[in-house]
Amino acid sequence: MYDFTRSIADWIVRTRYEDLPASVVDATQVYITDHLGCVVGGTTATSSQIIAKLATQWGPVDGSCTAIARDKRTSAPLAALINGTTGHALELDDDHREGTQHPSVAIVPAAFATAEMEGKSGRDLIHAVALGYEIMIRLGEAHLGDMYLQGFHPTGVCGSIGAAVAAGTLLGLSVEQMVSAIGMGASQSAGLTTHRTNGAWNKRYHAGHAAMAGVISAYLSRENYRGPSESLICDEGWLPAFSYKHHFDPERITGGLGEKWDLLENSIKVHACCRFAAPIVDATLEIVQREDLRPEQVAEVVVGMAEYPLVRSITEPRERKYNPTSVVDAQFSAPFAAAVAIVKRRAFLEEYNETGIRDQAVLALAQKVRWQVDEEAERLWPTRYPCQVDITRTDGSVVSARVEWPKGDPENAATPAELEAKFRALSEPILGRKKTDEALGILGSLPSLSDTRILAKTLAL
């Protein structure tokens, strides 16, 4: 098995833009657009402002790369750090359900910074992002939904490798160099789920760190910095190191590689909360809209989902899930998700900001939310995220909804109009209408873009 990483590197290096199915090109174009909107909108977060301030101080003021939606430039690794961390701040970035990770915030910043540094085209950017996505997603899938049980956040752990693949593709690495880049990326894998202890921002940093690590790994490898010849499956390798009780399947990485594109199963988020909480919003909204349900009519809400996302992610620690002390607490709260859907009938930026999370009507209704493990959802985890919501009204009647495919999943996809509305909601308050229009125009014809620097200029202040 000591040629496992090499076989993956060989596929990456051999796969050209022309080999990408049209569906993959189209999907990747959507993912890039969605991510860039999330970065622009995420610049308002305090965590984003801190990392941008420091990173632009560390980097050259006349650097080659853009800190998106800012008037600063810096080096490629630091631009990837800023844009990746910023893109994850609002919990609106895309998510792959079975890979249990957010691919865009690691892959796109690394690819975008490298493409800008090297003056690459829109086709080059799509090509690199598609390959980075596919490898990152498959690495997550190989852990069979269990990486969280080991205490790791898959976005940070898998992202540094996927970002190295994307950046390395843009740099035209040889097979030997790509093996090295994957190994260097794997050595920088990181990300503990300790953000749950106090609503911390380290989860956001995982994305930026992964993007930065990928850029560094690719550029080092282009200069023939020596990385490990096998990094994924050897005794000391990445797969056993990050697995839970040695539970992993390498075939999920290489099986059907290039024939079945798992990136097509990626989901676009429409709610500004943890992906595990989003189906609760969907099911609750279905009831509220169908029944014209008012908060004062609600006696109890019962949420049913799979055990891991419910118990381990969005219901503990219990006190902070019922009474969030930070935006992160609210983003990862099942009671808040159900309550905000009933009271506000939406779950977007204003509902998940410092003011929204202290809305007394929402917090009062959150106290009426309970939960239980849904056996069917448990059986399907992590391939699907179904959710059952049962609401008992004050008159004793019960109204229910079950969501099999949360909004944004490929089976229940956001429409082009919804995607554009999301981008505009995130971008126009920061960049203005004119620049937003320009950015959407360029992104809509990305395969014909001659130089990504044109897009980068549009996205800068």
Instruction: Note the pLDDT tens digit of each residue in 163-213.
Output: 999 999 999 999 999 999 999 999 999 999 999 888 899 999 999 999 999
Tell me the backbone φ, ψ of residue 359, rounded to 5 degrees: -65, 120
Residue linked to tokens 């560390």: 58
Q: Are residues 188 and 59 in the same domain?
A: yes
Q: Are residues 300 and 229 in the same domain?
A: no
CATH classification of the domain holding 165: 1.10.4100.10
CATH classification of the domain holding 349: 3.30.1330.120
Tell me the backbone φ, ψ of residue 298, rounded to 5 degrees: -95, 125
End-to-end CA distance of the chain: give it in Å, rounded: 49
Q: Are residues 165 and 68 in the same domain?
A: yes
| Cα dihedral across residues 46, 48, 49, 50: positive or negative | positive
> Token pair for residue 361?
């009507």
Domain assignment present for 155: yes
**Mean confidence (pLDDT) of the chain:** 97
Q: Are residues 400 and 426 in the same domain?
A: no
Q: 48, exposed or middle or buried, with CB in 10 Å at 0-12, 13-18, 19+?
A: buried
pLDDT of 51 > 70? The answer is yes
Contact 391, 263 (CB under 8 A): no
Domain assignment present for 294: yes
Domain assignment present for 89: yes
Tell me the backbone φ, ψ of residue 54, rounded to 5 degrees: -70, -45
3-state SS assignment for residue 15: coil
Distance in angstroms (rounded) separating the CA atoms of residues 190 and 171 = 24
**Lowest-pLDDT range of 101-110, 196-205, 338-347:** 196-205
Domain assignment present for 285: yes
Q: Are residues 9 and 101 in the same domain?
A: yes
Mean pLDDT, residues 37-58 taken together:
97
> Token pair for residue 232?
């994924």
Q: Residue 401: beta bridge partners? A: 389
Q: Are residues 214 and 286 in the same domain?
A: no
Output the pLDDT for position 61.
Answer: 86
Q: Are residues 235 and 163 in the same domain?
A: yes
* pTM of the complete model: 0.97
Contact 101, 158 (CB under 8 A): yes
Q: Are residues 239 and 314 in the same domain?
A: no
Domain count, the chain: 2
Mean pLDDT, residues 91-97 taken together:
97
Q: Residue 305: beta bridge partners? A: 373
Of residues 307 and 61, the one with the higher pLDDT is 307
Percent of the chain with pLDDT over 70: 100
Distance in angstroms (rounded) separating the CA atoms of residues 265 and 410 = 6
Output the pLDDT for position 311.
Answer: 87
Distance in angstroms (rounded) separating the CA atoms of residues 242 and 152 = 7
How confident is the model over 349-398, as pLDDT tens digits?
999 999 999 999 999 999 999 999 999 999 999 999 999 999 999 999 99
> Token pair for residue 336?
């808040």
Domain assignment present for 413: no
Distance in angstroms (rounded) separating the CA atoms of residues 39 and 428 = 12
Distance in angstroms (rounded) separating the CA atoms of residues 126 and 318 = 42
Domain assignment present for 414: no
Q: Show Cβ contacts of residue 169 under 8 Å, excluding neighbours closer than 6 positions.
A: 12, 127, 128, 131, 132
Residue linked to tokens 């620690």: 317
Q: Are residues 15 and 130 in the same domain?
A: yes
Q: Are residues 55 and 142 in the same domain?
A: yes
Q: Are residues 284 and 250 in the same domain?
A: no
Q: At what angle do helices 46-58 and 76-87 cross, to 10 degrees?
A: 180
Q: Are residues 291 and 340 in the same domain?
A: yes
Q: 327, exposed or middle or buried, with CB in 10 Å at 0-12, 13-18, 19+?
A: buried
Domain assignment present for 416: no
Domain assignment present for 286: yes
Q: Which amino acid is at 381?
A: W
Contact 102, 95 (CB under 8 A): yes
As a whole number of Å, the CA-based R_g of the chain is 21
Distance in angstroms (rounded) separating the CA atoms of residues 103 and 35 = 10
- Domain hosting 309: range is 278-407
Output the pLDDT for position 1.
Answer: 53
Query: What pLDDT band is residue 2 in, cutting at 50, 70 and 90?
Result: low
| Of 364, 379, 407, the domain-final residue | 407
Distance in angstroms (rounded) separating the CA atoms of residues 164 and 106 = 10
Percent of the chain with pLDDT over 90: 95
